[in-house]
Amino acid sequence: MKSGIHPDYHPVVFQDANTGDRFLTRSTVTSDRTIEWEDGNTYPLVTVEISSASHPFWTGTQRIMDSAGQVEKFRRRYGSTSAGRRR
């Protein structure tokens, strides 16, 4: 890699705002906030709104859409029209 053209890639702690879970990884993001990690070192802290700890897909709380039920609900509300009918 050429020196001087790449951003600083360093350890950063990300914290989920919803669950409070934290994980240490490497990133180019910077932050003014810091946190002391389990190893005794201080790292920049970045708060994120959603991580795998709170995302519905990863936690198993994802709602399954009933597409057939939605079609029936639409037909009940607006009525069913024949496809061949034209004005």
The pLDDT assigned to 51 comes to 81
The pLDDT assigned to 22 comes to 93
Q: Which tens digit of pLDDT belongs to each residue from 24-73?
A: 999 999 999 999 999 999 999 999 888 877 776 656 666 666 666 777 88
**CA-wise closest residue to 12 among 50, 33, 55, 20:** 33
Confidence of residue 17 (pLDDT cuts 50, 70, 90): confident
Read off the pTM. Answer: 0.62
Is a pLDDT exceeding 60 seen at residue 84?
no
Using CA atoms, how far residue 57 sits from 22, 25, 47, 64, in Å, is 19, 22, 20, 10
For the chain, the 3-state helix, strand and coil shares in percent, each to the nearest 5, are 20, 25, 55
